[in-house]
Each structure stands twice: as structure tokens, then as C-alpha cells.
Structure 1
């Protein structure tokens, strides 16, 4: 029997306080997503595995028309070259400007702020960490890129990553998460610097569904019962065991698994791999 190849959905996690106890990943309602701090700073987080393809129309639709946010972090995996930053800047030109970026081949992270953002930035540093290999395709880098910024007195860290693929590589992904956490900014660490108030992970973490076969899983998805798959989520399983992301939060999942569709359609890929 074939196992479902669906990846975990696009991912974004928030951590805003240090805890010595084991709590795993906590789910918060979307309406409470801005309650992590007492600040009224609004941050939008977008992540997209582009599979080497992009159009301006898609990017403009992704960032939306209202731009009702202070900061926008865009993490890209398998991005096609260096043209995406220009396209994003064009799409956001009326309201926002690029204030930080870091790239490692196809793994890219961009941070946009309001036109007057420069007066609110007290510190901005970037770093990157490769985890070896290139995803089987030259130029498609695995690892993490990160931006650390002090904005309006709030210390923020954004970590965008692309981890190892395949359902059986759970321990490898766990190890990569820990390695990235321990090594980012370690070479430029300042003993007088303080930890971030908020740390946000986003990207293609490549965790899959485990313990359920393809067709039972798709039957649940077709019936809009995809929330019943949460217990099969490798990432939540590993966090629940204390392996990764202890004390982080994520929003309520309201959409179906996003991997993997046939190109140009809304039908799941049924080809054998």
C-alpha cells in the first residue's frame, strides 16, 4: 500500500518567550494571532515553494491589495534566480519598501516595512546556514536564511528554511532544525546582545503525514475532514515528543494539505514516486 506523499502544509511558527518546560507546539485561534505581545505591531508572514517558477501576477495576488501590515516577511524556496525581489518591490511599491534580505541560491528571505521604516530600525543583521546537498537539483539549496531586527524596540528574528525531503527522513529534519537553531548568528554573536522577543520560523519544513495510507487520507480530505489528520502530522508528533519547536505557537489550520497537486490544476498528484 502506498503512503500519502502529502507534505505538511506551508508552515509558520511563532515563539515569544523562553520556557524550560516541555509544551510542544501550541495552537492559537486566528483572532488571537496578534496577542503574542502587548505591541500593536502587525506582521504578515508568507512562505512559498516556487518550484523554479514565478509570475508577477501570482506575487501580486500573494501579497494582497490592502497591504494592511507594518512588516511583511516573505520566505521563498526553490525561487527562480534573483528577480523575485524586484517583482515583490514593484507589487508593494505604493506602501512598503525592502528593508532586509538574505539569499542562499534558491532559498530567499525578504523583509518589507513602511516607507519610513528606517527611522524605527535600531539593528538589522542577516545570516544563512546550509545543511548540505541541493535537493537533488543543482541550485535548489537546503538550509536556512535569517533576519534579525530590532524594530520599534521589539527584537524580532525571522528564520526561513527548506529541510530534507521524503517521509522517512524525520530524524534528519529534526537534527536540521536543531542545527539551524544553534548555528544561526553564532559567529556574530554579541555577549551583550539580548535574545529576541519574538522568533518566527517559516518555510518548507518537509514534514509529512505518517501512519495513514494514501486513500484513507484523501477520503478524509475530500470530505473536508482534513483536521482529523492532525494526529498523523509528523511535525506535531515530533514537537509533542519534545524533539523540536518546544514552546512555539501556530495558528489554527483551516485549509487542506497543499502538497502535491498536478501542475496547473487543483487535483492532487497521483503519480507514483
Structure 2
């Protein structure tokens, strides 16, 4: 029987474990250049299984040769040889191939029972976006509470195809759908490791690059440092990452080895070959990406090449990481909730507060004062602008946010409202009629980029444990009409506090920022039978409180000066307030604007 992934993730997050130790992860890449691995010795020198990393992710490109020893195909022979090289201590968790691009993930057998939710996917970026000679394969998994994703990629070749390589990256990030399929990899997995022949080149004349590369091959000293610095200054990947054109948010470990391409096959020490004057380059790389507030969990132990493996014109590389697994929580009490498949019906503030009290629902996650700022929104074409009806322009100001996460009872939604209502829509419609031309870029950008205010949202965690919520990320999907703006991951650590906390969350699409969410939020719990603390009262939403409380009382509560018990006395000065109104504000665990 297949178990719901979200339920698996939730159950795994409550598994207890004593004396946890960090685990090591080795991510390795090799463009085999269709070379034939005749023995496991080369692979052992490259992967070094004697150091016993906890987890291996091994990706190869151009892995195509005639199988030996009776293997039915190249893929089967390669996996046999890889398993033989790693030894019986390791168990293969997954493997995936797309033509000659392959990825296999192994784990120490003693940790195999700690792994769950294994998935694989692939995305082709070759001719027409369908040919698999270029593209990527990927595998994701959960190791205890930590979600990991491994990508093995082979991007467009040749020095001049820089823009195509950047586009390959964006297409792969958009096309690989694992875990929560509506989110990109970097929006949901705690750590993403991206390795492969990325084909970014060093932009130096051949002779100049050869001279610098040869000094890097020396044992050490000032000449090696100078040569490496010269090569890296002209490295396309470093430049494109810095400019935000590709791999934005990814980190590469400190690179200290010599260029990995193009080398003479079968020659050691490695000698660089002259292929149409192309400079020796760092085409083979390993990068990683961590969600916000997860960066401290990962540490780089090594990043190196293995020049003794000479069966290809590429040199294999590997990076080793130490991962501090996310903290295990005790199994918390789970409040009485409606079935997952049954959505909540809309409730008024008083109804929701009463429901929370009657079912003893202890946890709430409230998001308020949220604004959405769209970034780099392209203006519509002239033809598209002329065809827009006024209704469509009014829709420009409406943005829908969907909140999700394994810790939530059900997904939540809220709608963004433009600060100026329909005034700008009226102005745009008038301009279209008067000028009979497309809306100017300035007006369009002003309309789309102005921050928008959002109606407050209340989300219902499944569990009653703030310590557990502090470890979670709220996944947010942003749409404008039917157009996807992007997704983001908001860490809840700062929101599990006694008062509303400010936050900022970047929304991305195809690896680039498209919007910024800013607001305040709070996760808090009400234990049945316990007196309500003062701090929820100090954070009454502005849109709700004025309708219920006098301004003087509201100000005192915001300053933390008014106790809950004092509200009954203070609020009597307002003859419009009923006892139900007062109770609704005192509950204050559910807000509906």
C-alpha cells in the first residue's frame, strides 16, 4: 500500500533518535567521454569508499560503451561496476538514466532504514528540448528529517553557448518536479546538490590559460595561487552566478584544483589538449543550495579532482559534506481536526474562535500585514495590451497566494488587493482608449511593481508543538490570475515567538527572484485549561480590532499594558461592543478579515 508522501514526512519528523551524529555526503561527477572502465580501481581512487561516507550521489555523463562480462546494457554494467567499487557496505537507493546521463544514490546499509520518500525525475534540454543528450537526472529523498535532492546535469557545450547553458539551468530547475510538484527543487528541499559537466569555460587565450593551468598542477606555493586566481577570474560560471544569470542562490565549495577539461586520454600527469584553441576549463563542478536558516546544517569537508583517472578527456571531481541532521522532536499531541480531504468552511471570527475553543485546537499560524512586491515584471506587448479588457486590467491588482506544508492540516489561501484598488485599472483603461496604443512600460511597471496588501491568513498546524514548528518552512505559491509568479519557502523559526515577528521571503521562478513577500506573522499555542497569555492580545490585527475595541484600549494592548482580564472592564466604555465581540478578541487565536 502506498502511503501519502505528506503523511510519511510528518511521521518521520516525529521519530526519536538518541545520540545523533552528523552524516557525511559525497557528491561525485565524471564525464566519461565514452571511455571504457576496465576495472573498479579507477572508480575507487575517485570515490574513496575507504573513508565510508554515509551517502553517495554519483553522476556520470557520456557513459556509453560496450558492456563487458555479459551485462545486458551499458547502464546495467555501470551500476554493477559502481556497486562492486563501493563494496557490500553500501545499498543502492535509486538510479536513473537519460540516454548517457546517469545518477545513482547509495547509502550505508546501517542507515538505509532512515531513508524514505525516494523519487527520481529527468528533464531533457537537447534539440528541441526533448533530446536527452543534454539535460539532467535527479533523485530526492528524506534522510530522517532532512530532505535532500541530487541533480546530475550535462549542459550545452562550446564556449560561445553561454546563454544556452544559462537557459538549460532554468529549464531543468523548472522541469524537474519532485516532492511537492508545484514547487521547484530550491523552493522545498532543505539541501539541493547539483553536479555534472556544466560546460562553463575559462575565457582566456589558449596559451595564457595553459600556462596558468600548469602552475595550478604544481604541489603548492605562490605561483599556484596566482595561476588559479587568473583562471577563476575568467571563469564563466563564477561570472554568471555573480550577475544572477544562473545558479543564483547556489554555493560552490572553494575550488583549488586544476581545470578538468580538455586533457589527453590515458596520460598522467595530465596534459591539456588543444581543441580548436579552447582554453583548459573547469567544466566539471559541484554546487549546493540550502533553504533559508538551513545553511548552518551543511559544512564542506573537501572539494577535489582525481587526475590519476585518465580514461576520459575530463577529470572526475567530488565534494564531501558534513550534514547535521535536523533535530528530532518528541511525538506531540495532535489536536482533534477535520479529515484532511474535507476543507474547512468559511467561519466568522466569533465562529472560528468558538470552534477553536470547543475542539481545543491549540495551534494557530497567523500571517498579517503582508505585502507583495513584484520584481522585473515584463510589460505586455502592444498587441496584448490593446486586446485587454478593463476586467483583465482590474485583475492586474489581484494576486493569489497558496500556503502549504506537511505540518498543515490543509492548504491555505489568501488574495492580494492593490493599494489603490481599481484607480490604476481605470487609468490604464482610459489611456488605452485615448491613445489607441499599448500601455507604456513606465505605467505598466508602476502598476505591477507597486507593493500590494494582502488579506490576513490563518493556518492550522496539525501538531501541538512550537518546537516542531520552529523547524518547518511554510511553502508559498504566488499566482497573478492564471500566471505563476513563483514560489518561496518561509522559515517559521522567527514566527514562533511571543509577539508578531517581521519577515521577508523571496519568491523565485526558474531560479530567479520574481517577487518579495514582506509582512508579520506569529505561531502560538493555547493549551486547554491554561490561561491565555497577554501577547496574543498585543498583536490584534489592525483590520479587526478597531471594529471591536476603543482606540485607547487597543493602543494599551498593543503596548502590552492591557491584560486580557482587564478587557472586560475597559471595553465597557464602548456601547457598541457585545460580550461576543469581547470574547472573539480575547480568543484572538483565529483572525478572519
Query: Does TM, normalized by the shorter one, top 0.5?
Result: yes
1:44 to 26, 34, 43: 26
How far apart are the structure 1 equivalents of 2:261 and 2:92?
A: 30
| 1:62 is aligned to 2:46 | yes
Q: What is the SS of the residue equivalent to 1:251?
A: coil
Higher radius of gyration, 1 or 2: 2
In the TM superposition, what are the counterparts of 1:28-107 in structure 2 within 5 Å? 40-53=22-35, 54-55=37-38, 56-80=40-64, 81-82=74-75, 83-107=77-101
1:201 to 191, 194, 207: 194
- Whether the 8 Å contact between 2:136 and 2:153 is mirrored in structure 1 is yes
2:181 to 189, 199, 206: 189
How far apart are the structure 1 equivalents of 2:122 and 2:132?
A: 15
In the other structure, the counterpart of 1:255 is: 257
- Tell me how far 1:90 sits from its aligned partner: 1.0
How far apart are the structure 1 equivalents of 2:238 and 2:210?
A: 19
- Tell me how far 1:186 sits from its aligned partner: 6.4
In the other structure, the counterpart of 1:272 is: 276
How far apart are the structure 2 equivalents of 1:46 and 1:258?
A: 13
Q: 1:174 to 1:271 in 2, by over 3 A?
A: closer
Q: 1:187 to 1:158 in 2, by over 3 A?
A: closer
- Whether the 8 Å contact between 1:78 and 1:140 is mirrored in structure 2 is no
In the other structure, the counterpart of 1:34 is: none
**Superposition misfits of 4+ residues, deviation over 6 angstroms:** none
- Tell me how far 1:258 sits from its aligned partner: 1.2
In the other structure, the counterpart of 1:244 is: 246
Q: Which has the higher helix share?
A: 2
Higher mean C-alpha deviation, range 159-168 or range 259-268: 259-268
In the TM superposition, what are the counterparts of 1:161-240 in structure 2 within 5 Å? 161-185=153-177, 189=181, 195-210=188-203, 212-223=204-215, 224=224, 225-240=227-242
Higher mean C-alpha deviation, range 224-233 or range 197-206: 224-233
- Tell me how far 1:60 sits from its aligned partner: 2.2
Cα deviation 1:174-228 (Å, max 9, x = unaligned): 001001001101697168x981000110000001012x21111212222331232
How far apart are the structure 1 equivalents of 2:134 and 2:126?
A: 7
Cα deviation 1:65-109 (Å, max 9, x = unaligned): 414211011010011221111111111223211111111121000
- Whether the 8 Å contact between 2:180 and 2:188 is mirrored in structure 1 is no
- Tell me how far 1:118 sits from its aligned partner: 3.1
Q: 1:58 to 1:180 in 2, by over 3 A?
A: same
TM-score normalised by structure 1 residue count? 0.78
Q: 1:39 to 1:234 in 2, by over 3 A?
A: farther
| 1:156 is aligned to 2:148 | yes
How far apart are the structure 1 equivalents of 2:275 and 2:139?
A: 38
Q: 1:187 to 1:129 in 2, by over 3 A?
A: farther
- Whether the 8 Å contact between 1:67 and 1:95 is mirrored in structure 2 is no
Gaps of 5+ in 2: 1-19, 65-73, 216-223, 278-593
Q: 1:179 to 1:140 in 2, by over 3 A?
A: closer
How far apart are the structure 2 equivalents of 1:153 and 1:272?
A: 49
Q: 1:268 to 1:233 in 2, by over 3 A?
A: same
| 1:126 is aligned to 2:120 | yes
| Number of matched pairs | 230
Q: 1:105 to 1:271 in 2, by over 3 A?
A: closer
How far apart are the structure 2 equivalents of 1:151 and 1:187?
A: 14
